[in-house]
Each structure stands twice: as structure tokens, then as C-alpha cells.
Amino acid sequence: MALLGRSLSRSHQLWAIARPSLGSCASSRVMMATSAQEEQQRYLEKNSSLNRPLSPHLTIYKPQLTSMLSITHRGTGIALTGMLYTFGLTMSVLPGDYATYLAMVQSWSMGPSLISLTKLAIAWPVSFHVLNGMRHLFWDMGYGFDIKKLYTSGWTVLALSLVSGIAIAAI
């Protein structure tokens, strides 16, 4: 609020300087004696003296399915984008072709369980992100905003993404 008042008074000062013919405006200039840091410090001291708590943060909220799915959707999107760019840039810079590096990974003779877990670690985020993205498209069309439908679609996306991720990893 103090910053708004300060900016309004400064615009008033600029108006008075730009139009000196308006003598009454020039005489009503308000000079600001405090900076933004001083205003903030005064605000914090006042709230501290009144024993007002700071605004609550994530630590007081109960995790909900909808918020966790939203966070996971953003996280999988960022992770998939990072993996795609890293893989693409790495393959374009390194000598040799994809078959060379695939043969190198096969020579490490990892067990089938580690290979399956690696494939699942790639397949699940893709399937979750696609299915949850379809859920968002339904929301964009105006469907599924009822609380019961929100939770039903959320659990459905979770179950289908796990099943499809495991199915893709089993290939």
C-alpha cells in the first residue's frame, strides 16, 4: 500500500513539474522521506509488536489428491523435458550413433530387474503426464469440476498410469 501511495505521489510530482502553469498543483507536492526497505522494516516491526504470525506455508496444509497430482504433473513435465533435451543434445554432440551406445549399455549386462525398473522409470512419467494432460483437456472443456468427479478422475489417472507404465516397461 505504501508503494502504491509513493508511486501515485511521484506521478503527481511529475505532473506538477511537467505543467508549471498549474501553480496550485506544484505547491501540493509530497516528498517521500522513507524508502521501500524502511517501509517494510516498519511493517515487520509493527506486526512483531502486535504478535501477528507470519503467513502460513505448505507445512500447515493437509496434502490432497488434487494438489499432489498437480505437483506431480508439473514435475513429470519438467523431468521429461529435461531428459529429452539432455538425450538429444548428448546424442548430437557425442561421436558415433545410437546403435553404438545401445551396444555399450547391453555390454554392461545389467540384470532384467534393473532393466525393467529403468524402463518403468521412463514409461510411468510419460503415461502419467499424457493421461493427466487428457484430464486437463476435459477440464478445459468444462467437464469434471464436481468434487466427486475430481477425485474419481484423479484416482483413475493414477491407476491407469501405473498399469500402462508397467505394461510399457514389460515390452
The ranges of the chain with pLDDT < 50 are none
pLDDT at 77: 97
pLDDT at 159: 98
**Amino acid sitting at position 75:** G
Rounded to an integer, what distance in angstroms lies between the CA atom of residue 95 and that of residue 101?
Answer: 10
Quick: pLDDT tens for 72-104.
999 999 999 999 999 999 999 999 898 999 899
pLDDT at 53: 74
- Neighbouring residues of 143: CB distance < 8 A, sequence distance ≥ 6: 149
The answer to whether 138 touches 144, Cβ cutoff 8 Å, is yes
Rounded to an integer, what distance in angstroms lies between the CA atom of residue 45 and that of residue 145?
Answer: 43
pLDDT at 86: 96
Q: How many residues are recorded in the chain?
A: 171
pLDDT at 51: 85
